[in-house]
Amino acid sequence: MEAQTKQRATRKRNAKQSSKPKRPTPQKEQNSVPQIQILEIGSVSPDPVQPRKTFDAQSLEHLAHSITEHGVLQPITVRKSDDGYIIVMGERRYRASKLAGLTTIPAMVRDYVDTEVLEVQIIENLQRKDVEPTEEAEAIQFLLDRYEPGEIAKRLGRSENYVRQRIKLAGLIEGFKAFVRTGEMTISLAVAVALFEPDEQQMMLDSLEGDFQGHRIKRMIESRTYDLTKACFDVTDKTLVTKAGACTLCPFNAANQGNLFGEGKMICTRTSCFENKKTKTFMQLLKRVKKEGLKLVPNISKYWVDEERNQWVMAQMEKEGLEVHLTNELDILKQPIEPTLENIKEEHRHYEYTEEELAEFLSEALESFTEKKEAWDNAIDHGFEKGILLETDTYLTQAIFVRVREETNQGSSGAKSLEKRKMSECTPGEQIIKINAREMRKKQIENNNQFKEVVDMVRDTDYINRKKPLSTDEMVAISISLFENNIGFYSQREHFKDFFGDDSRLSHEELVARFKENFKKETLYKLLRFLLTRQVHLGESNHTNDLTNRSFYVAMQSFYNDKISVIDETYAESRQKREARIKERVTVLEQQAKAIED
C-alpha cells in the first residue's frame, strides 16, 4: 500500500511538471502502429495504482459468458514491465477472460511514461457509463493538475457544471464516500457535506455513530448555529469531545469572536461539533440510566414514531437493552413548579385583567400545584418509578416519575387490547384484523419511502436548470403547493374561497385533475422550480394522501417517467407478492373462524 501511494505521488508530481498537451498522446503513437499480440494471460497484471477500484460482479459474469462464446473482441492495451506486462486499458476484459478460463489474451503493447499511463487510464475510465461517483471525482481531481474544468468537460463529453460538481465531491472524506458507494447518500447531499473542511466532516461523521442518517446530516448543513445556553451538555466540559475542548474556550463560540451576535451571546458556529457533543451526551445517558436502573422515556407519541430521528433514538435504546415505551402508553409525572404572581402576569400578559382577577388565578394555580406536589412526593407509593424524559430533537432531559399504563378492554377487566396481544393469543378473526391493520401501516410506510425515493431522484438531477417553459402539471403543482403551505387558513377563505371549488366528494387524484383542467397558464421562473422541489412533504405524507405531493408526483412523471416507473415497479412487485401471501393466509384464517362459529 505504501509503495502504491509513493508511486501515485510520483506520477502526480511528474504530471504537474509536464506541459499541458492538447490530448494525452502516448509516445511513438504517431510514428508506429502497435501490432496485436497474443500474450499469456499469466504474464499480464493489473496496474496496482489503476484509478478504477470497483468492478460489478454480475457485469463481469455476463462479459465472461460473452467471451466464452465469441472471444475477446477488442484487445487490451498493456505496457512492458520487469515481470511481464501491466494493463493500461482493459482490466475489465482481462478479469472476465480469467473468469472464462482463457490462457491467452489479445493485446497491444505500447510504450508510455508514467505521467501518460495514469492520464490515459483516467480518461478511458471516465468515459465509461458506470463510473462510481467518488472514483470519478478523484480522477477528475487528478486531471485538474493539467487541465481546466472546461477542457476536462470537453474531453469527457460532460457539462462543465457536472465536472465542477465532481470536483467538489472529491473533497468528501472517506467515511462519507462509503455512504455514496452504497447508495445511501445522494450526490447532492454528498456535495453539500464536501463543502465543509475535512476535520468538520469528521465531526459530522462521528456524530452519526456509524449509521447513515440523512435527516441529521441535512440538519447539520442547514442549521449552522446553535444557542449554547440551551445545549443538553455541559459547555465547560473539556473531555466530552477531547479535540474540541470546552465550548466556553472554543474559538467557534461567537462570544469569543468579538461578540458577533451581541450581548456576549454564547452561539456555536460549528454545527458538526455541536451535534457530535449532543450524540456523545445521549450515548452517555443510555449507559447511565442502564447502570442506575432508571426508565428512559423518549418524548415520542404513536403519531411520530416513524420519524427518522425517533427511529434512531429507539434503535440506540434497544441496542443498550433498554425497554422502549411511547408516551401514550405511560402515566408521567413531571416535577411541579410553584407558581408566582410574576408567572401569572406573564402568562396573561395579552389580557387586561385586574389585580383581583390575577390574584384569583394565582390562588387556583397554587391549589393545583399543591395537588401535583402531593402526587409527586408520593409517586413511588402509587406504582411509579424514577425516570428521565428525553426530547429527541435536542436531547434535553428532565427528571420524571413514570408508570406503564394498564390497557383494558371494555367489559374485560385486565384483558390486553388487541394491538398489544401477540398473534398466538388471538382468535382467527382477531388475527385477520391484526394482519389487515399491519398491512395498512406497511402500505403507508411503503408509500412514504416510495415518494421519498422519487423526490430524492428528481432533486439529484439538473431539473431546476431546464430552459423549457413550465408544463401545466408543474404550474398546477407549484400553485397548489403555494396555496397549501404559504397561505394561512383565514386568508385561504377570504381571498381564495373558490380555489378548489366544491371538493368535498373528490379524491386527491380527481381534485388535481379538475384543477388542472381549469388552470390558467402563466410564466414561472427557475426559482419557482427550485421551490417546487422543496415544497413536498416526506415522512408521514406521500403521493397518495397529500395534495402537494400528488401534484408534484404527476408533474415529475412528464420528465422522468422511465425512472419513476422503475421505482413504481419495484414497489408494486414487492407489494403484489406480499398481498398474495396475505390473501392466502387470511383465507385459511377465515375458514378456521367459520369452523369455530359452526
Catalytic residue ranges:
91
> What is 258-299 written as a DSSP string?
T-TTSTT--EE--HHHHHHHHHHHHHHHHHHHHHHTPEEEE-
Handedness of CA 152, 157, 163, 166 (dihedral sign): negative
Please say whether the beta carbons of 387 and 297 come within 8 A. Answer: yes
CA distances from 383 to 8, 402, 405 (A): 68, 9, 10
Please say whether the beta carbons of 99 and 61 come within 8 A. Answer: yes
Q: Match 422503475 to its residue by C-alpha cell.
A: 566
Which candidate, 468, 467, 500, 466, places its Cα nearest to that of 483?
500
**SS3 of 546, please?**
coil
Give me the numbers of helices (H) and strands (E) for the chain, helices first please: 21, 11
Distance CA 137, CA 573 (A): 35
Q: Match 477528475 to its residue by C-alpha cell.
A: 140
304 secondary structure, DSSP code: G
**SS3 of 118, please?**
helix
List the strands of the sheet with 330-334, edge to edge: 295-298, 385-390, 397-404, 330-334
Q: How many residues does the chain have?
A: 598
CA dihedral 466, 513, 548, 540 (to 10 degrees): -120
